[in-house]
Amino acid sequence: MSASAGLPTPTTGSEPDASLVARVGTVPDKVSLDGLETRWDSAWTESGTYTFDRSASRADVYSIDTPPPTVSGSLHVGHVFSYTHTDVVARFQRMRGKSVFYPMGWDDNGLPTERRVQNYYGVRCDPSLPYVEGYEPPLQGAEGKSVKAADQQPIGRKNFVELCERLTAEDEKEFESLWRYLGLSVDWQHHYQTIGRTAQATAQTAFLRNLARGEAYQAEAPGLWDVTFQTAVAQAELEARDYPGHFHTIAFHAPDGTDVVIETTRPELLPACVALIAHPDDERYQHLFGTTVTSPLFGVEVPVLAHTMAEPDKGAGIAMCCTFGDLTDVQWWRELQLPTRSILVRDGRITRETPDWITSEQGVALFGEMLGKTTFSARTAVVDALRESGDLHGEPVATQRKANFFEKGDKPLEIVTSRQWYIRNGGRDADLNAALLARGDELTFHPEFMAVRYSNWVGGLNGDWLVSRQRFFGVPIPVWFPVDAHGEPQWDAPIIPDEASLPIDPSSDTPAGYTADQRGQAGGFIGDPDIMDTWATSSLTPQIAGGWLTDPDLFARVFPMDLRPQGQDIIRTWLFSTVVRAHLEHGSLPWANAAISGWILDPDRKKMSKSKGNVVTPMGLLEEHGSDAVRYWAASARLGTDAAFEVGQMKIGRRLAIKVLNASKFALSFAGDDDLSLDPSLVTEPIDRAMLAGLADVVDKATAALESYDHTRALEVSETFFWTFCDDYLELVKDRAYGAGDASVSAATLSARTGLAIALDTLLRLFAPVLPFATEEVWSWWRQGSVHHAAWPVSDGLRTAAGDADVTVLTAAGHALASLRKIKSGAKVSMRTPIVLVDLAVPDAYLPAIESARVDILGAGRVTGPLTLTVASPDQGDPSVQGGIVVVRSELGEAEPKPARNA
């Protein structure tokens, strides 16, 4: 790292220190923010400003596990917002001398990409079709036109995956250019795709290791199933939504002829009923426990059982347990060892064969009408029959119920029995659960309260992590199964590939010891048809980005990582699953810190999202306001707090960036043709030293804030100081800094010029993480190298230069100047108007301070006559203004005629 270390300490010897002198190069006559983004992005790329120094040891590295954005649409302001937060951290750490490992990934895995490809190219995947060489899809960019499924051209899996890769590559190019324009200090040599070969190999290797250690397993079990996508769905992907339904009151029949009445919203599941269940303490049903009743219409005999999960005040207090209507049914079925009578199949329709437990003539006839029907039509059939038989009591009553949905689906989930793969995540194992909760405690969340979202989720898990999905585009489960002599797959004896052969696709690759023509044959093999959950890959981003498999040397330098930035909504998914994988594979946390950004809300306080159509495109914003301005807006919002989308805040950021350019140009203009000194020993005037003392405080506060991931506070203290610096200090020292106008430079002039140079040098470093473009631009006018590799400022040197000065001199002089301005403002005259006489009553403590800056105050206030200072008494005037300085008497002179301006 090349930087001069913060502010150099004063030299004591006679050797001039080269680092204390800066030669001012060309400062533009007219400064502008326009074009800085493109210009500096090129310059940074060319000089490798953000290249990770892989010779650095782990202790000198700061590594970031960046969220790979989903490449299935476009980035929105929410992305710009949260990625800026991360970039501020990256830039701060880089300036502190860390080698920053800041890779970028693209999440092009999974359903969103799959669906987008279907729409964009008008195709659909049919894994049974062969690969077609040189295939071209029927459409290009048909997005939004929504091609009906029936009109989509069916293509084989390999062709489909190729299209996925083609489309995501285009998107990724666009995303990268946006990130570059925004000024993310990413090392673009380190980027990855979650569908890339490395990611696939990593996901498959990690899975096989989980399998070898017994952490991954298969089970044939009832589980939540999306009938649209026809895939199993994991707990983390659930979303409870309101769903309209009807309560139906239905009579079962006891042997003695009495009715046992239940209520249900799903009468179509009547043929799947396996028991009636009431609470063991429920007085009303005591006499029925242990007996059987007969279902209406279908005449199936079912037991009446007791279970504590039954709630007496829900419905009739006695429930119909079906295989399977909901997760409670599954629990009853399991715990009471009930038979399985499934009637729903994977497409969400009623089975196409009448099941053997339905034997009555009436039952068989009715079920015959239901065969292959949707649940909706089947319900109508059952309800009509019930009404006719008199077993429907009253009419159905409309109700609003909650149903589980796949977060990307729009039909309620059904429960279907299937063979699936799971990874243990503490959902069924108390020890592992406790260990993962402990990992949560070990992880530092910013803000802290986000930790409870983790522990709530982990504590509330009710099953292991379902990782298999019945989809096409994704990382295949890397196993095959032998097929026995009868043609039956041996699910219990998976054929495991060698790690060195990964990644593999078992649907096209052949396992060792077999030939391709044995696929699907008796005595041969079949591939596992499923792919892994997208989180099964995403949970390995630290390993993928860090080179776990491909570059162990790199991995040792970056893992466990320092920071995981992400949104609060995916703590339960991405964050948790990543913790699970690292815990199982490495016995550690994947990172030390998690920084959680809030949401961007539109002016109606609604979360911005594509589905609501209230998204603002980021590139337009960046071009209109400038990247520094948009970054300023983002950096003004604290972690974990939702922020309003506010153009006003961007305008303030733009104003700040422009002010940085202008104030810098001004400060540098005093150098003339001379070199500008940064030697603190030349700062001799009390007010100059006071300014440096104030700056030292700012440096300490900003540093402490950034160390605790509070970028907002760091920006705020720097910004507040900077505006006072411009409005008061610059005005006060202007005249002195210009000097006498001849070649001689007095000590007082040198003090002002050096103070300005030191302050500018420090302020540019303080602002660099938030305003990388404006600060780099100014830096290039007079310093060597990049400000983004300059050392983060430290207060020591500033304090040495300030000596025993304290900030009071500057604040008091500022207040005095304000009181002089108020005289003119009150008289509605130009600030150029001279004051020929003024008496100020000032607080006790300010008297010496103001006295020591008298000459500067007279100059800045254009006081041409006597300035008299007295100590203010408590009853004098309004002490709340101008720091308690009261104008006792004043007299204004004639304004000078306008000076001719040089164009």
Partner RNA sequence: GGGCCUGUAGCUCAGCUGGUUAGAGCGCCACGUUUACACCGUGGAUGUCGGGGGUUCGAGUCCCUCCGGGCCCACCA
Under the binding rule (CB under 7 A), the answer on residue 382 touching RNA is no
Binding positions for RNA, 664-723, rule CB under 7 A = 665-666, 669, 713, 716, 720, 723
DSSP 155-196: E-HHHHHHHHHHHHHHHHHHHHHHHHHHT----TTSEEETTS
Q: Which is nearer to RNA, 521 or 830 (CB)?
A: 830
Q: Which is nearer to RNA, 364 or 818 (CB)?
A: 818
Of 573, 556, 571, 595, whose CA–CA distance to 101 is shortest? 556
Binding positions for RNA, 432-491, rule CB under 7 A = 449, 452-453, 456-457, 460, 462
Return the range that interacts with RNA (CB under 7 A); candidates 201-209, 261-269, 474-482, 575-583.
261-269
Distance from C-alpha of 680 to C-alpha of 696, rounded to nearest angstrom? 13
Distance from C-alpha of 450 to C-alpha of 651, rounded to nearest angstrom? 31
Q: Closest distance between RNA and the C-beta of residue 413, in Å?
A: 7
Under the binding rule (CB under 7 A), the answer on residue 376 touching RNA is no
- Binder to RNA among 20, 22, 24, 33 (CB under 7 A)? 33
Q: Closest distance between RNA and the C-beta of residue 159, in Å?
A: 36
- Binder to RNA among 1, 139, 403, 836 (CB under 7 A)? 403
Q: Residues 6 or more apart from 48 whose CB is under 8 A from it?
A: none
Under the binding rule (CB under 7 A), the answer on residue 570 touching RNA is no
Under the binding rule (CB under 7 A), the answer on residue 247 touching RNA is yes
Distance from C-alpha of 830 to C-alpha of 13, rounded to nearest angstrom? 50
- Binder to RNA among 652, 837, 847, 892 (CB under 7 A)? 652
Q: Which is nearer to RNA, 642 or 675 (CB)?
A: 642
Task: Take residue 363 and report the two structure tokens written for it.
Answer: 């039952």
CA distances from 67 to 22, 359, 539, 564 (A): 40, 57, 11, 8
- Residue 490 has φ and ψ, to the nearest 5°, of -95, 85
| Stretch (H or E) spanning 147 | none
**What is the separation of C-alpha 564 from the centre of its chain, rounded to a whole number of angstroms?**
9
Under the binding rule (CB under 7 A), the answer on residue 411 touching RNA is no
Return the range that interacts with RNA (CB under 7 A); candidates 12-20, 31-39, 89-97, 104-112.
31-39
- Residue 267 has φ and ψ, to the nearest 5°, of -60, -25
Q: What angle do the packed helices 772-782 and 627-635 form, to 10 degrees?
A: 120
Of 171, 104, 186, 68, whose CA–CA distance to 534 is shortest? 68
What is the identity of the amino acid at 483? V
Q: Which is nearer to RNA, 652 or 837 (CB)?
A: 652
Q: Closest distance between RNA and the C-beta of residue 303, in Å?
A: 15
Distance from C-alpha of 280 to C-alpha of 312, rounded to nearest angstrom? 10
Residues in the chain: 903
Under the binding rule (CB under 7 A), the answer on residue 413 touching RNA is yes
Q: Closest distance between RNA and the C-beta of residue 173, in Å?
A: 30
Q: Closest distance between RNA and the C-beta of residue 515, in Å?
A: 45
- Binder to RNA among 371, 818, 847, 892 (CB under 7 A)? 818
What is the DSSP code (8-state) at residue 896?
A: P
- Binder to RNA among 256, 874, 899, 903 (CB under 7 A)? 899
Strands (DSSP E) contained in 426-537 are 444-446, 465-466, 468-469, 480-482, 525-527, 531-532
Distance from C-alpha of 165 to C-alpha of 173, rounded to nearest angstrom? 12
Q: Closest distance between RNA and the C-beta of residue 247, in Å?
A: 5
Under the binding rule (CB under 7 A), the answer on residue 549 touching RNA is no
| Stretch (H or E) spanning 582 | helix 576-586
Binding positions for RNA, 86-115, rule CB under 7 A = none
Q: Which is nearer to RNA, 213 or 314 (CB)?
A: 314
Under the binding rule (CB under 7 A), the answer on residue 240 touching RNA is yes
Binding positions for RNA, 587-606, rule CB under 7 A = 605
Burial 406-432 (b: 16+ CB within 10 A, else e): beebebbbbbbbbebbbbbbbbeeeeb
Return the range that interacts with RNA (CB under 7 A); candidates 29-37, 472-480, 482-490, 553-561.
29-37
- Binder to RNA among 675, 727, 806, 851 (CB under 7 A)? 727
Q: Which is nearer to RNA, 123 or 637 (CB)?
A: 637
Binding positions for RNA, 303-322, rule CB under 7 A = 309-311, 314-320
What is the identity of the amino acid at 876? Q
Q: Which is nearer to RNA, 588 or 614 (CB)?
A: 614
- Binder to RNA among 14, 15, 18, 34 (CB under 7 A)? 34
Return the range that interacts with RNA (CB under 7 A); candidates 1-9, 162-170, 362-370, 647-655.
647-655
- Binder to RNA among 287, 402, 428, 612 (CB under 7 A)? 402
Binding positions for RNA, 42-81, rule CB under 7 A = none
Q: Which is nearer to RNA, 452 or 512 (CB)?
A: 452
Are 262 and 288 within 8 A, CB to CB? no
Under the binding rule (CB under 7 A), the answer on residue 404 touching RNA is yes
Q: Which is nearer to RNA, 114 or 326 (CB)?
A: 326
Distance from C-alpha of 610 to C-alpha of 620, rounded to nearest angstrom? 16
Binding positions for RNA, 823-882, rule CB under 7 A = 824-826, 828-832, 879-882
- Binder to RNA among 631, 654, 736, 753 (CB under 7 A)? 654
Q: What angle do the packed helices 627-635 and 711-724 form, to 10 degrees?
A: 120
- Binder to RNA among 245, 478, 494, 618 (CB under 7 A)? 245
